[in-house]
């Protein structure tokens, strides 16, 4: 287990300087653009290892929390550590390829809405990812089972961008597992995947996490999925509180209603609405 700690962390996205059209008259006043709100203010929390699901309303900061934990973003104030290392050590990862590899070998990231274009077919890409990770031998032992459980056996001859959105997500999940870093952040990794497939995949991931000691953090909107497979829950409340605990406790009706500040039944309506919107906007397999 690689503990991740947040100590007094504050984070605000930087203001974006959008190019403004030149005014007809020179302005004497500043345009009235409100400063962005902080996503986190003085947050202290320890994220447990194992298979951990992040649950919370849209826009509350699930992706941001994972990006900070995975050393893809850095706090304005306070400290984030992963495996005892301050994530600031990786602040230049974007400019130093060796540092980037070192970070990725510690914690890999499946981004929300991630997509790939490749010249090679999936059947060549997957072994390439496994060979280039920190533990090719371990990757080899799970390769066949993973291809099977991710339902990719029939798609190995296809190039990444020729996959449907749901197949693409399953392929990216498979890649993240084959890379074999000890910590994997998965930001909404199965939203376009057909529910039975997603359930099977997460069941397998949860078992592997327990057996191999890999820490998997996944943000999901499907509470039932989290209930079925999470060992721990990170529940992010509308008021900014971040709670860590057992699925039975934190995913209980009262707890979810407090966090989402919404009646329980509407949470399920919202979840279905969210999925429906995604199905319509993507050529996915979830709506088939």
Ligand X SMILES: Nc1ncnc2c1ncn2[C@@H]1O[C@H](COP(=O)(O)OP(=O)(O)OP(=O)(O)O)[C@@H](O)[C@H]1O
**E strand residue ranges, 104-246:** 107-110, 183-187, 215-219, 232-236, 242-245
Stretch that binds Mg ion, among 36-44, 55-63, 65-73, 241-249 (CB under 5 A): 55-63
Q: How far is the CB of 64 from Mg ion (least distance, A)?
A: 8
Pick one of Mg ion, ligand X, none as the site partner of residue 238 (Cβ within 5 to 8 A by kind). Answer: none
Report the C-alpha gap between 105 and 184 in whole angstroms.
10
Task: Sort strands 4-11 and 242-245 into parallel, antiparallel or unpaired.
Answer: unpaired
Q: How far is the CB of 245 from ligand X (least distance, A)?
A: 18
Cβ proximity to ligand X: between 28 and 58 the closer is: 58
Cβ proximity to ligand X: between 60 and 130 the closer is: 60
Pick one of Mg ion, ligand X, none as the site partner of residue 182 (Cβ within 5 to 8 A by kind). Answer: none
Length of the chain in terms of residues written? 288
Cβ proximity to ligand X: between 174 and 185 the closer is: 185
Report the C-alpha gap between 83 and 270 in whole angstroms.
36
By CB under 5 A, tell whether 63 contacts Mg ion. Answer: yes
Instruction: In the chain, count H helices and then E strands.
Output: 10, 10
Q: How far is the CB of 39 from ligand X (least distance, A)?
A: 5
By CB under 5 A, tell whether 64 contacts Mg ion. Answer: no
Binding site for ligand X (CB under 6 A): 13, 36, 39, 56, 58-64, 112
Report the C-alpha gap between 140 and 128 in whole angstroms.
11
Q: How far is the CB of 131 from ligand X (least distance, A)?
A: 32
Q: ∠ CA(269), CA(67), CA(83), 5° rounding? A: 120
Stretch that binds Mg ion, among 7-15, 56-64, 79-87, 270-278 (CB under 5 A): 56-64
Task: Sort strands 242-245 and 232-236 into parallel, antiparallel or unpaired.
Answer: antiparallel
Report the C-alpha gap between 147 and 153 in whole angstroms.
6
Q: How far is the CB of 69 from ligand X (least distance, A)?
A: 12
Binding-site ranges for Mg ion (CB under 5 A): 62-63
């Amino acid at each position: 287990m690689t503990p991740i700690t947040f100590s007094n962390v504050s984070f605000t996205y930087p203001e974006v300087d959008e190019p403004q059209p030149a005014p007809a008259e020179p302005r004497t006043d500043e345009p009235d653009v409100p400063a962005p709100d902080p996503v986190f203010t003085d947050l202290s929390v320890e994220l447990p290892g194992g298979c951990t699901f992040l649950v919370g309303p849209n826009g509350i900061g699930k992706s941001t929390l994972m990006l900070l934990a995975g050393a893809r973003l850095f706090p304005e104030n306070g400290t984030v550590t992963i495996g005892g290392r301050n994530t600031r050590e990786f602040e230049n990862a974007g400019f130093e390829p060796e540092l980037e590899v070192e970070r990725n070998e510690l914690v890999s990231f499946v981004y929300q809405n991630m997509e790939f274009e490749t010249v090679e077919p999936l059947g060549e890409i997957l072994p390439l990812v496994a060979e280039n990770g920190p533990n090719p031998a371990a990757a080899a032992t799970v390769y066949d089972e993973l291809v099977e459980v991710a339902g990719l056996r029939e798609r190995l001859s296809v190039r990444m961008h020729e996959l449907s959105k749901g197949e693409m997500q399953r392929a990216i999940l498979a890649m993240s597992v084959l890379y074999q870093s000890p910590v994997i952040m998965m930001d909404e990794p199965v939203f376009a995947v057909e529910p039975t497939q997603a359930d099977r995949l997460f069941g397998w991931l949860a078992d592997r996490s327990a057996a191999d000691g890999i820490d998997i953090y996944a943000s999901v909107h499907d509470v039932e999925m989290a209930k079925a497979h999470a060992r721990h829950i990170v529940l992010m409340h509308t008021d900014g509180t971040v709670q860590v605990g057992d699925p039975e406790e934190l995913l209980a009706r009262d707890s979810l209603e407090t966090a989402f500040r919404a009646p329980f039944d509407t949470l399920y309506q919202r979840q279905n609405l969210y999925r429906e919107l995604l199905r319509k906007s993507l050529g996915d397999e979830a709506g088939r």
